[in-house]
Structure 1
Amino acid sequence: MINQQQLWDAEAAKHYDTPGEGMFAPEVIGSTVEVLAELAGAGRAVEFAIGTGRVAIPLSEAGVPVSGVELSHAMISRLREKVTEDQIPVVQGDMTEAVAGEGFSLAILVFNTIANLLTQDEQVRCFQNAARHLAPGGRFVIELWVPQLRSLPPGHGGTVEMSRPGYLLVDTYDVLNQQVVSHHVRFGAELSEGREARIGRTPHRYIWPSELDLMARLAGFELESRWADWDRSEFTAESRSHVSVYRVAQDHRRMTCHLAGGP
């Protein structure tokens, strides 16, 4: 079993932020926060796997009260270098069961993080926990990549997903168990002298959109919207990722709380 605390340790937290680049690029953050702020309306938001605050901090600055759930002590420590507990309260714990409150209008799980849960059962329980946090009519927003199994050459179990100066990403697949391991290879000027490369590995359980929708239904959600990206572009068979917005109806809440182990 993977120890997520060891996976997301102080070293991972130290190198997680890439200001101005990648998922920290202003255009990425800007469009993400714009959509989430609109969906939250006048209500509060809770972010599962809040990490170092990439989304939570600008969303809070946009006027949306944000709370968080985060398993990694190291990621919370990095977040606390930026904001206080009063500004963004965080509960340390597993996003399948930790509770940061209730009555939120929006629950958020971005950048493929639901795939960090390595079994279908855990992923279903994450949906149930999101429902537990939400007020009737509240929304759960998930950002997730689409498995690129069509890119696998016959007889090969891996694909190169990204190649740029100083960084290489290779994904290896176990298609029988819907498991993928991302191999992050960093090299070049960012490394200390004498070190040729640094390799990190992160395991995931990939989820097809239709399977994700069934998980949502089990927790009392209905799919409200699905886009290819935060710009609300159309989701098609060629899309490599999606932003899915689920909504829980008032008459589903009692059933959802019961399934999640609540009163």
Structure 2
Amino acid sequence: MHSFGPETYGELNADVYDEWHAAHDPTDAVRGLAELAGEGPAGPVFELAVGTGRVTIPLAEAGIDVRGVDASEAMVARMRAKPGGDRIPVVIGDMADVDDGTDDLFAVVFVVFSTFFFLQDQEEQVRCFANAAKRLLPGGRFVLECPMPDVARYQRDQTLETHQVGLDRVRLAAVRHDPVEQRFEGHHVLITERGIKLAPAFMRYAWPAELDLMARLAGLRRVHRWGGWRREPFRAEGNYVTVYEKPATPAS
């Protein structure tokens, strides 16, 4: 656990990431982010943890000036190998820094799927909010897609699930839950005739009210919370989308 850094997940999962997440269609996320980019001030858009470009590339294809950061060189290499991926400015770094190597301000800073929770403690998450606020234009938005924590699924604070069974492979997920630190520490385990592959995923989850407090500390205000990218009502389950806004004028 002590050796799990910002780059660890990507470096150990890049070769299987697209295959294992193929069922998660990013179309709604791309459409929703493009709409949000068109509603606020004019300016570039910045993605935290671009990964293999599943959202970044189609956003750029839609005409959005999108840039990004990722801690994993292996993930970014996968993105750059895809059509159009090599034309998107991406820096290698910690997403909590919200740093693209320039002094530009952004209309939208966003992080999708469950990636914000890969920041390993509350301090890192608070720092990410603060840095996102600094890099936003007045009226700009910080957009998070997060899963609602489902702690009821854990018996004795642990779970083992089967994700895939085939003639030549079995894929499992083994996770332990720490309710005090709000942490999930787990592995995807792929077993084939060639051996065993471990893909670690350690996360620190936050409840919606805690995210709202982080936003207030950063000087942002919540303007939307939806049950998904189609702006469904929030029902405190599954993945949800929250939009925080930087005030157009400083608070007096």
TM range (shorter): 0.7 to 0.9
What is the aligned counterpart of 2:248 among 233, 247, 250? 250
Superposition deviation, residue 206 in structure 1: 0.8
Aligned to 1:184: 188
Give percent identity, aligned residues only.
40
CA contact (8 A) 1:167 1:184 kept: yes
Matched residue, 2:15: 14
Matching of residues 110-259 of structure 1 within 5 Å: 110-153=112-155, 156-160=156-160, 163-165=163-165, 166-187=170-191, 191=192, 193-195=193-195, 197-237=196-236, 239-252=237-250
Alpha-carbon distance in structure 2 between the residues aligned to 1:105 and 1:93:
21
Residue type of the partner of 1:230?
Answer: W
Distance 2:14 2:62 in 1: 25
2 CA distance for matches of 1:180 and 1:161?
14
Code of the aligned partner of 2:246: V
Mapped to 1, the partners of 2:187 and 2:209 lie a distance apart of 27
Structure 1: 5+ residue stretches without partners = 256-263
Moved more, 56-65 or 34-43: 34-43
Alpha-carbon displacement from aligned partner over 1:28-54 (angstroms, at most 9, x marks no partner): 221111100000115321001111111
Change (3 A) 1:133 1:162: farther
* C-alpha distance in 2 between matches for 1:67 and 1:248: 20
Q: Is the 8 A contact 1:181 1:202 kept in 2?
A: yes
Distance 1:78 1:52 in 2: 5
What whole-Å deviation, never above 9, does each CA across 1:114-167 have from its counterpart, x for those lacking one? 1111111110110111112211000111111111122333xx111346634343
Contact persistence 2:6–2:94 (CA under 8 A): no
Q: Give the letter aligned to residue 32 of structure 2.
A: V
Note closer, same or farther for the CA distance 1:151–1:232 as it changes in structure 2 (3 Å cut): same
Question: What code does the residue aligned with 1:39 have?
Answer: L
Q: Provide the rounded CA distance (Å) in 2 between the counterparts of 1:242 and 1:20.
A: 18
CA distance in 2, matches of 1:163, 1:71: 27
* Structure 2: stretches of 5+ with no match in the other structure: none
Counterpart of 2:60?
A: 60
1:35 aligns with 2:32: yes
What TM-score do you get using the length of structure 1 for normalisation? 0.83
- 1:104 corresponds to which of 100, 103, 106: 106
- The Cα offsets for residues 190-240 of structure 1, whole Å up to 9 and x where unpaired, read as x4x432x42322111110000001001111111111112222221124x12
Deviation at 1:20, TM superposition (A): 8.3
Q: Deviations over 1:170-206 (max 9, x none)?
A: 331011111111321223xxx4x432x4232211111
Q: Distance in 2 between matches of 1:66 and 1:150?
A: 38
SS in 1 for 2:234: coil
1:66-119 Cα offsets, whole Å, 9 max, x none, are 10011111112222212355x210121111225224221111101111111111
AA aligned opposite 2:71: L
**Alpha carbons of 1:240 and 1:7: their partners in 2 closer, same or farther (altered >3 Å)?**
closer
Which contiguous aligned blocks of 4+ residues in structure 1 show a shift greater than 6 angstroms? none
Q: Which amino acid aligns with 1:200?
A: A
Distance 1:159 1:234 in 2: 29
Query: Does the residue aligned with 2:245 lie in a helix, a strand or coil?
Result: strand
Q: How does 1:79-98 map to 2 (within 5 A)?
A: 79-82=79-82, 83=84, 85=86, 87-98=87-98
Instruction: Return the alpha-carbon distance in structure 2 between the equivalents of residues 65 and 22 of structure 1.
Output: 27
Q: Could you say what the CA RMSD is over the residues aligned between the two structures, in angstroms?
A: 2.2
- Give the AA of the match of 2:228: D
- Cα distance, 1:243–1:170 mapped onto 2, change above 3 Å: farther
